[in-house]
Amino acid sequence: MAESSMDASALPVTVKKKKSLSIEEKIDIINAVESGKKKAEIAAEYGIKKNSLSSIMKNKDKVLEAFESLRFDPKRKRLRTAFYTDLEEALMRWYRIAQCLNVPVNGPMLRLKANDFAQKLGHNDFKCSNGWLDRFKSRYGLVFRAQPAEATGVPVDPSTVWHQNVLPYYLNDYHPQNVFNIKETGLLYRMLPTNTFAFKGETCSIGKLCKDRITLVVGTNMDGSEKLPLLVIGKNRNPHCFKGIKSLPVCYEANRRAWMTSEVFEQWMHQLDEKFQAQQRRVVIFVDSFPAHPEVKNLKSIELAFFPSCLPSKFIAMKQGVIKSLKIKYRHCLIRKFLSSVEGSREFTFSLLDAVDTLHLCWRAISPETIVKSYEEAGFKSQKRESEETKEETDTGLDLVAHAHAAGVEFPEGLSIEEYAALDEDLETCEGEPGDDSVWTKESKSDDTGFYASDEEEDEGSLGTELPSPSKTEAIAALDTLKSFLRSQDMNTGLHNSLADLEIFINSLSK
């Protein structure tokens, strides 16, 4: 018996090597378990132990996320991530876009782009070595092959390729709540219908019209749940009407041409980035490919996605209804204020501060339905809505015209509110070349036309006047007085929004 025991112990012990499964195989196992198949049968089929199968199910969410995000090759067996995850994500996204646009990519190009992303993301200690590049290609299953000769002979519309192949990658990676689009638009903030014919054909580079233009930057997210604060760019750094004011309901910048510059854009992006960091969010913002929209370094919560320069405006969500709705609402408010002055036999004054107030009010009134519809018309993935009815955003304008005629004011015949709102849509809004100088200038005094007074001529007392009787008109005047007082204090965004909501409520009353 002892000899038999010795012989058994002397036999070599065979250790069964643990089987490694690919991401693809783990997905199949998860699907099999969830379909009701017995775990013992699944384990036997894939040659693994029951505790290994239990471990796969325990980490199901991680496996599914790795598979659905396309960050890993499905044949890969480990989910270990790289140290520079943000760099790898940016590099992989760039590689996918290059593939969609039929741009051949090789090792040197990938290495050059990796170093470029590292610099932009602030990884100053990173250097793309051959070893790192090989590991990166292995992690993502990249194999460079020669481009077929016939591929280059077929004409491809880059905008169609971008819309069908590039855009879905972003929409798969980000929830609609975290997908934003921003767009600039010019605004002649004091232009009344009676002035429209005189303004046609002007370039807004010289003269009185130039002094009354600003640039607006509007932005919302895809599901309509969030509107970014308006960015208003004027010509005067410290206009007279801003005297004594410590806070505004919008972000305000200024340069001599009242347009977007690379410096303004970078500063604004960093402000938004701080906001999203505080909310612990990761967002993507779609912007035009302009010199005034540079790559912004060291953004932690924002990924900038640049539209191809050849992309038609129909793919830009803000131009499919949001900007139009904002301008129509603004023009209605401007006309109402003008008619109120005529009826009260008062000189009509409308300052940049009045324009800022009115823009904030109108921006608050843009409905989520209008925003969602704009994104859908731009080709972004549509969201399921309980009702297909879209809230009406525009007034007919007929009552305003009748009101104007009753007050003895003649408006140009045949001019619709849509045409009136769109007269300044072709104004230039961005610098033409990087590094264009932005020198602060003091606005010169404009001639009094009878329709408005310049900022320098404005009487601060006209911002709000208390009247004795509690009519709707007097309530609005009292609200203006309240604004003037509160603006001399430090106000938060919530108070600005409350003032706008109060004005919307008062305007909704019949008398």
pLDDT at residue 15 in the model: 42
> Does 242 lie in the same domain as 112?
no
> How far apart are the C-alpha atoms of 302 and 285, rounded to whole Å?
7
Which of 200-214, 319-333, 479-493 is predicted with the least confidence, judged by mean pLDDT?
A: 200-214
pLDDT at residue 407 in the model: 64
Host domain of residue 47: 23-69
Contacts 24+ apart (CB under 8 A), 441-450: 441/235, 441/236, 441/256, 442/236, 443/211, 443/235, 443/236, 443/239, 444/211, 446/208, 446/211, 446/212, 447/208, 449/195, 449/208, 450/348
> Does 375 lie in the same domain as 250?
yes
What tokens does 92 get?
Answer: 């992989």
> How far apart are the C-alpha atoms of 232 and 467, rounded to whole Å?
32
Over range 181-195, report the average pLDDT. Answer: 88
Instruction: Using the 3D structure, point to which of 140, 160, 185 is the last residue of a domain.
Output: 140
> Does 91 lie in the same domain as 46?
no
> How far apart are the C-alpha atoms of 276 and 265, rounded to whole Å?
16
Average pLDDT over the chain, rounded to whole?
76
Q: Is residue 292 part of a domain?
A: yes
- The CA-CA-CA angle for residues 177, 178, 183, to 5°, reads 105
> Does 179 lie in the same domain as 95?
no
The DSSP letter of residue 164 is I
> Does 351 lie in the same domain as 316?
yes
- The CA-CA-CA angle for residues 172, 175, 179, to 5°, reads 95
Domain at 128, CATH number: 1.10.10.60
> How far apart are the C-alpha atoms of 165 and 159, rounded to whole Å?
10
> Does 118 lie in the same domain as 45?
no
More confident call, 113 vs 218? 218
> How far apart are the C-alpha atoms of 426 and 319, rounded to whole Å?
12
CB count within 10 Å of CB 274 equals: 13
Cβ-based neighbours of 99, under 8 Å, separated by 6 or more: 105
pLDDT tens for each residue of 348-382: 889 999 999 999 999 999 999 999 999 999 999 75
Query: Phi and psi for 468 in degrees, rounded to 5?
Result: -70, -35
Which of 122-136, 252-266, 278-292 is predicted with the least confidence, judged by mean pLDDT?
A: 122-136
Q: How many domains does the chain have?
A: 3
pLDDT tens for each residue of 441-468: 333 333 333 333 344 433 333 344 333 4
pLDDT band at residue 323, thresholds of 50, 70 and 90? very high
**Is the pLDDT assigned to residue 152 strictly greater than 50?**
no
Q: Is residue 331 part of a domain?
A: yes
Q: Bin 426: left if φ > 0, else alpha if -120 < ψ < 50, else beta.
A: alpha
pLDDT at residue 83 in the model: 65
Domain at 243, CATH number: 3.30.420
**Is the pLDDT assigned to residue 326 strictly greater than 70?**
yes
pLDDT band at residue 251, thresholds of 50, 70 and 90? very high
pLDDT at residue 461 in the model: 35
> Does 239 lie in the same domain as 338?
yes
**Is the pLDDT assigned to residue 43 strictly greater than 80?**
yes
pLDDT at residue 387 in the model: 43
Which of 120-134, 286-300, 344-358 is predicted with the least confidence, judged by mean pLDDT?
A: 120-134
Over range 337-344, report the average pLDDT. Answer: 85
Over range 40-47, report the average pLDDT. Answer: 88
pLDDT tens for each residue of 202-234: 444 444 555 788 999 999 999 999 999 999 999
> Does 251 lie in the same domain as 185?
yes
> Does 135 lie in the same domain as 240?
no
Model confidence, pTM = 0.63
> Does 279 lie in the same domain as 366?
yes
pLDDT at residue 371 in the model: 96
pLDDT tens for each residue of 159-169: 777 777 778 87
pLDDT at residue 167 in the model: 85
CB count within 10 Å of CB 257 equals: 24
Instruction: Using the 3D structure, point to which of 407, 423, 439 is the last residue of a domain.
Output: 423
**Is the pLDDT assigned to residue 1 strictly greater than 70?**
no
pLDDT at residue 214 in the model: 94
**Is the pLDDT assigned to residue 201 strictly greater than 80?**
no
pLDDT band at residue 276, thresholds of 50, 70 and 90? very high
pLDDT tens for each residue of 78-100: 554 456 788 888 888 888 777 77
